[in-house]
Structure 1
Amino acid sequence: MLSFNSFRIVCQYRALLHPNWLMTNRQAVSKTVTCSAHCMSTSFPTWHSNMNLKAPGKETKLMFYTNTVSSIRTCYTSQVNRNCWNCKQLLDKTPAFFCMSCKVVQPPEEGISFFSIMDCDYTFTLDTQKLQKRYLQLQRSLHPDNFSQKSVKEQEYSESYSAFVNKAYQTLLKPLSRGLYMLELEGMCIEEGTDSGADSEFLMELMEINEALDEALTAAEANKIGQDTKGKLSVLTEEIDAALHKGELQAAKALLAQMKYFANIEEKVKEKLSELM
């Protein structure tokens, strides 16, 4: 079992690697420390095997960050035992869509993350094909049409879970919404507005792109702007992934703000193309 002192040492080491980490994750750390003994003993399985306190390398720091975040997520969703609303048997899986004993559908679990629901790794570059496969699988089993002959409560729970799965899928499918959600899980958000945190040079670039798009007279001109925008989004995706892996949340936040602007331009390109065709 991981003792409190061991966990404190781990947090101190993490803070040395990234000074902003402790401040950014203060709430998460506090919740983790107060978890039950079972949660503490099962949520941190790989720290000792992946840490090298004397000579931490790049790979070590990356693995440490990934394990820390995923462990905190696990701790959030496993500290409260749940029982089936119908037969009262203990639900031994998280997430629990159905009771293994009486087979009835369960209500969505409060506080569970979209990554857990969709059985995805907590990473910005998740496998979208796996995500889509999981989505179809869950909707086949949870869709309200399957419960039309069931009790009112089962119909309500199936509708709730089906809607929750759909929201999780839509959020994690696209890089922008996925990244924003990851920042939200870390207690951060990107403010509304077009100039929040953006420098004048970047805003000027956006203005020029928008003006060029407004003045485009042919589909070829609009497509050229669209291709350039896709290239910028691809570069931003790589940079955001690197920042999140390093635990540099402020850098990831700034990059996601830029991605938000270029994603808006991408949508405008689609609208322009529909006008020109």
Structure 2
Amino acid sequence: MLSLNYTRIVRSARALLHPHWLLTKPESVCKAVTCSARCITTSSPLKDTWHSSRSLKALGKGRSYHSNLLLRYYSTGQVELNCWKCKQPLDQSPAFFCMSCKVVQPPEEGTSYFKIMDCDCTFTLDTQKLQKRYLQLQRSLHPDNFSHKSVKEQEYSETHSALVNKAYRTLLKPLSRGLYMLELKGMSIEEGTDSGADPEFLMELMEINEALHGARTSEQANKIGKDAKGKLADLTKEIDAALLKGELQAAKALLAQMKYYANIEEKVKEKLSELM
């Protein structure tokens, strides 16, 4: 009976980690698997690391015996993270500081930006929460706070601070956030290629650019900017829906369109500066 139960648990865990399951139901992954640990990089599902024992225990809450077996399955081959100075176990992931000696820790390789910023792995994340988290982390990790510490602590704080800045900038805007979500799933939008774009869409863009180039008043430029902003709002809803359904190719095509309209928005700003 023990062997049978263990086999069932292992099979269930393997099914849970299957890459096709991740691609078809990404929203289930974030809710069912990474609820406690937030979002874990999904580009290589079979290589995901589970550093937080608290998150693992949550998977088997209320099922003491079976949860122990499940914990051992997920922990196979994993090394418990300890503080580099006092050697005490780190009970959080990512662990910015040791809870025992309060010393700053080295960044954990491969940790997703969503996890660093303590945000849900979703295209429509709470940007106010993101900003609050950013300010909190920078207050505690800024290199100025470690000017009188050891060289190692100074290096770790500088690395953390730069990583937090990059994570914040990436997740703040919808376009970079969406591209990063596709990147986590092993997809990317190639730079400088229009081969996959719809000819009608490209013609529409050409007309918009010509109209912007020929704009002679700020009112004309603002109108183009307002239209572009409205299109970006529509694309945001469409991309969110595609990602929730696991339709990655559709999300990729929509993000490519968003990229063009975001570029038009920037050109409108430049045009307004010229007209002032």
TM-score range for the pair, normalised by the shorter chain length: 0.7 to 0.9
Instruction: Let me know the Cα RMSD of the aligned residues.
Output: 3.2
Cα contact 2:42–2:184 (8 A) shared by 1: no
Structure 2: distance between partners of 1:269 and 1:229 = 9
Structure 2: distance between partners of 1:104 and 1:168 = 22
SS at match of 2:186: coil
Structure 2 unaligned spans of 5+: 1-5, 26-40, 62-73
Aligned to 2:44: 28
Relative CO higher for 1 or 2, CA cutoff 8 Å, sep ≥ 6? Answer: 2
Q: CA deviation at 1:275?
A: 0.7
CA offsets 1:218-250 (integer angstroms, 9 cap, x no match): 111000000000000000000000000001111
Aligned to 2:162: 163
Q: CA deviation at 1:26?
A: 9.7
Instruction: Pick one of 4, 12, 31 that aligns with 1:6.
Output: 12
SS at match of 2:44: helix
Partner AA of 2:11 in structure 1? N
Structure 1 unaligned spans of 5+: 20-24, 47-74
Partner AA of 2:116 in structure 1? I
Cα contact 2:43–2:184 (8 A) shared by 1: no
Aligned to 2:200: 201
SS at match of 1:259: helix
Paired residues for 1:75-224 under 5 Å: 79-224=78-223
Residue 159 to residue 206, structure 1, CA distance change in 2 (3 Å) = same
SS at match of 1:83: coil
SS at match of 2:205: helix
Cα contact 1:190–1:257 (8 A) shared by 2: yes
Q: CA deviation at 1:31?
A: 3.1
Structure 1: distance between partners of 2:169 and 2:135 = 12
Structure 2: distance between partners of 1:35 and 1:132 = 26
Aligned to 1:55: none
Mean CA deviation greater in 99-108 or 125-134? 99-108
Cα contact 1:229–1:262 (8 A) shared by 2: yes
Cα contact 2:17–2:46 (8 A) shared by 1: no
Structure 2: distance between partners of 1:165 and 1:153 = 18
Structure 1: distance between partners of 2:90 and 2:107 = 13
SS at match of 1:90: coil
- 1:256 and 2:255 are equivalent in the alignment: yes
Residue 8 to residue 142, structure 1, CA distance change in 2 (3 Å) = closer
Q: CA deviation at 1:42?
A: 5.1
Aligned to 1:246: 245
Aligned to 2:264: 265
Mean CA deviation greater in 239-248 or 3-12? 3-12
State how many pairs are aligned.
241
Aligned to 1:235: 234
